[in-house]
Amino acid sequence: MRAVIVAIGVAFLISLFCTPIAIKVFARLKAGQPIRSNLGLASNEGKKGTPTMGGVVFILATVIAYVAGHLALTTLPDAQIAQVEPTITALVLLGLMVFSGAVGFIDDFLKVRKRHSGGLNKRGKLAGQILVGAVFGAVAVYFPSSMTDAGGNATNTETVGSTTLSFIRDVPALEIGKIGAVIVIIMVVMAATNGVNLTDGLDGLATGASVMVLAAYALIAFWQYRHWCADPNYTESYCYTVRDPLEIALIAGAAAGACVGFLWWNTSPARIFMGDTGALGLGGLIAGMAMSTRTILLLPILGGLFVIITMSVVIQIISFRTTGKRVFRMSPLQHHFELAGWSEVNIVVRFWIIAGIGVAIALGLFYSEFLAAVS
């Protein structure tokens, strides 16, 4: 637990104190977010020129905090079951965050350079998401752990990702094979990155919702670590067959802490936007969390707000293309309520409540499954 707390604290402090520096740097570089002024949105008033690409700060803060957490991990008495050296789990999770963020960075850079809200085209962004998901999905599925006990016997041969679809644990009846698993990981990466990206549109909305989801994954992963099948001191049959759960908890906690520090400056009125850099980076990491904790089918509940907002866009497109009519005044959904007269702060707080409800339901299902297994 000490390592997770250290990672959270370091990430929070780096993000909190380095974000103002990033604001000044991006403002000096004139890296302001292009704003479309013809949409009639009250939230767009006065936001032109606000620095973007702030996701760079909390992505770097997460990586640095991971290293700090590992330094604290070396002092743990049970470090022999925690795998003190960095693992492939960390490579996959941080890789998904960094390289998904890199795709978003290219998009943000092109927007800033062109002084236009259209950055990387849809095909380019989609290709980047597929490439990132495929590379790290393959690593997650094809490289098992090599943890051994004092006698040299294997204690954990799990891969980061599973060849079986999972809800709260792997569902044996839903075996999909390695190639199928990589395809599923690509789909989850695409869904999560686009979900967070669509949610990012009002000050602090996507950041606050992501904090809740990442904090939930930190709790889930740490609970799995305390009931881990690879722990020689834990012999109960209802243990969790995952790989490196403490690594997962450490990274999830670090990312949540980094987002809280960033939210200090990103809340209304925002002094900096996370941009596609941050939105895609967070989406990639959240997808990795679902994969590594074996809770892929729980993600739509845990990230319920992202699903609702994404579906509002899908419904709007289908309705307009088939009937010529719009269901919402504007999509994504948060802009519909803006045009209905809700203030930006009201929308953000109420949507945070929706996000919190989804997280609470998902955690309840996770824990109730454990109680059922115990009983």
Annotated binding site for Mg(2+): 197, 276
Residue 30 gets the label, from left (phi > 0), alpha (psi -120 to 50) or beta, of: left
Are 227 and 234 a contacting pair, CB within 8 Å?
yes
Are 177 and 161 a contacting pair, CB within 8 Å?
no
Are 2 and 76 a contacting pair, CB within 8 Å?
yes
Residue numbers belonging to the annotated binding site: 197, 276
Are 34 and 116 a contacting pair, CB within 8 Å?
yes
Distance, in Å, from the CA atom of 130 to the CA atom of 275, rounded to the nearest integer, reads 20
Are 15 and 60 a contacting pair, CB within 8 Å?
no
Length of the chain: 375
Indicate the residue type of 286. I
Backbone angles phi, psi at 40, to 5 degrees: 75, 20
